[in-house]
Structure 1
Amino acid sequence: MAGPFSATSTTDDVLAGVDLRGKRILVTGVSAGLGVETARSLTARGAQVVGAARDLAKAEAATAQVRADAAGGGGLELIALDLGSLASVRACADALVAAGRPFDLVIANAGVMAPPFGLTADGFETQFGTNHLGHFVLVNRIASLLSPTARLVNVASSGHRFADVDLEDPNFTKGSYEPFIGYGRSKTANILFAVEFDRRHRARGVRATALHPGGIKTELGRHMGEATIDAMIDGINAELATEGKPLFQWKTIPQGAATSVWAGVVASADEVGGRYCENCHVSEITEGLISPISEGVRAYALDAERAKALWAKSEEMVGEHF
């Protein structure tokens, strides 16, 4: 069953009765939060999960429950991946390709949010380089491993509404850096990457989608102080009150990871392919307020021509063509 599910559905709700024995799945960012829960829910249904993480020691400790809950032949193996270093990304991809074992699903979950200005090892603005370009190279390098019915799920964000991609100045060399503008650019890029990847691979049965997991308290917000987060929530609630809507509520981590597994293994491929999802359903295009908790996706994030242009710019930046 593909539903009905909602914002309060958990991974266990979504995967109830689902048998993933024999499936092999790659999940990035398994050292904390959504990545750990995503891996746990999948291995508990029999999937073999390859968990990628920058800090393997941290990931090993964080995934103890993943191993404890594994059932039906499910299991977890870890692989090193620093998305902020293309050398690390290429080494990870090369190791996976050399092993030659296909994947049925890739969940590009890892990311950073609103850090101070910085550059990756390759000189890219931290968020665009890590959230988009790292996954862009990884996924394209292992595309040959995707089985004929495989899916790519990019964990984006409603934060894409903060900004479209800037193909002329992706590294903020011409203007002042704003953390959430950078975040918005990178999350829009996650969605556009899914749109173009879906277009390029759907003829062979491989589909791609992107999603907003919801507002969840995880390590993603480590660059924001509690006062900043509280002020944001106060602003959101004031906006909701004027619209006569319920006040904001944080999602739990199992609720936050639910849309990833729904889009990856429960929803139909044609339903989610090339689309943007949230709260375990496909979203509609909306314009207007930027409230990070209201539903909807901006038209620029699904624009096919914009997606092609981003792909070309990304290839230029990483010096590699796919």
Structure 2
Amino acid sequence: MTELFGATSTTDDVLAGVDLAGKRVLVTGASAGLGVETCRTLVAHGASVVGAARDLAKAERATSGVRAAVIDGATFDLVELDLAALSSVRASADALLADGRPFDVVIANAGVMAPPFGRTADGFETQFGTNHLGHFVLVNRIAGLIRDGGRLVNLSSAGHRFADVDLNDPNFERSDYDPWVAYGRSKTANILFAVEFDRRHKARGVRATAVHPGGIRTELSRHMTQADEDALIGSINAAHAAADLPPFEFKTIPQGAATSVWAAIVADADAVGGRYCEDCHVADLQEGEGIRGGVRRYALDQERAKALWAKSEALVGEHF
């Protein structure tokens, strides 16, 4: 990594001068926000991108700018993927496998945040089922399509600091549902999945990492009221003040997607493999209270990652 990037770096800053001709990338959540921007900057630098989305009509409308950014040699295609229904996940994976073309990078970008209690089509708590289990099945089913030397980037969040995974009650069947605890569990799961996927695949040069994009106003916050947002920002600023950090600032969407692109394309593979990144750098361990920078130790625990993998296999009924 010859150039340093930070919290205000954009996708175009990160990829300045980078030629992605011949590279192929899968991006989930390609119908809004970070997913659309990630697709746009990749095709603008020559990559062929497959965007996955639950609502293809919405994705077609949202990605008109992506298609306009495609340069010679690059392509952009959409595929249907509903992460909240494993039948859809398996069908999407089967279609990609039948197509047979490999990927250099998979960016597991899609997700939901703090909705009211609900269950996926398969009976899992909505956030754990969508954010973690849907991607767990998709990525593992197509793992053979990731070229040697390729990468997996899981979109996590500083929200992982809200909660570790609960392997005994992942679906809130024996405990009261809290939307932020559920979000925290799912985001911790995203990191732990990257840790174990990296361990299993690094012998062939495939590395996996998890990233926090930062606070961005996107459709992800659709379930939050203004009072919810004010309370969350207040708690973040309290944690920042206690740690002698500056107040919270929202990022733009190009700034938010920059860490995904940096970790996928620019960063040194050995530096980010099995790690958690934020603001275009590998995050340090930070055990202080509240939502702020850094990663909690439990999210990088290798034994915890193995246990979550085994639990996830049992829940979805597949062994990888």
TM-score of the superposition, structure 2-length normalised? 0.98
What is the identity, as a one-letter code, of the residue corresponding to 1:164?
A: D
CA RMSD of aligned residues (A): 1.0
Matched with 2:309 is 311
Contact 1:38 1:257 in 2 (8 A): yes
- Alpha-carbon shift at residue 231 of structure 1 (Å): 2.2
* Identity rate, percent: 72
Is 2:91 aligned against 1:98? no
The corresponding residue for 1:268 is 268
CA shift in 2, pair 1:2/1:209, >3 Å: farther
Aligned residues: 320
Query: How many angstroms apart in 2 are the aligned matches of 1:241 and 1:128?
Result: 31
CA contact (8 A) 1:195 1:274 kept: yes
AA matched with 1:120: T
Q: Partner residue of 1:166?
A: 166
Number of the residue aligned with 2:107: 107
Please say if residues 239 and 289 of structure 2, whose CA atoms lie closer than 8 Å, have aligned partners that are also in contact. no
Report if aligned partners of 1:24, 1:102 keep a CA contact under 8 Å in 2.
yes
Unaligned runs of 5+ in 2: none
SS at the partner of 1:68?
helix
- Residue 299 of structure 1 aligns with which residue? 297
- Residues 1:321 and 1:193: Cα distance change in structure 2 (over 3 Å): same
Q: Distance in 2 between the 1:182 and 1:227 partners?
A: 19
State the Cα distance separating 1:243 from its structure 2 match: 4.6
In 2, distance between residues paired with 1:298 and 1:107?
A: 22
Report how far residue 314 of structure 1 moved. 0.2
- Normalising by structure 1, we get a TM-score of 0.97
**2:21 maps to amino acid:** R
What are the residue-to-residue correspondences of 1:1-322 with 2, within 5 Å? 1-291=1-291, 294-322=292-320
Distance 1:283 1:70, change over 3 A: same
Give the conservation status (yes or no) of the 8 Å contact 1:2–1:267.
Answer: no
Structure 1 residue 83 displacement after superposition = 0.1
Which range moved further: 196-205 or 227-236?
227-236
Show CA shifts across 1:241-268 (max 9, x none): 4554322110000000000000000001
1:156 touches 1:211 (CA, 8 Å); kept in 2? yes
Kindly state the Cα deviation for residue 70 of structure 1 after the two structures are TM-superposed. Answer: 1.4
Q: Do the aligned residues in 2 keep the contact of 1:192 with 1:306 (CA within 8 Å)?
A: yes
Q: Is the 8 A contact 1:2 1:268 kept in 2?
A: no
**Which SS does the other structure have where 2:114 is aligned?**
coil
Q: Deviations over 1:178-223 (max 9, x none)?
A: 0000000000000000000000000011110001000000000001
The residue type paired with residue 24 of structure 2 is: R
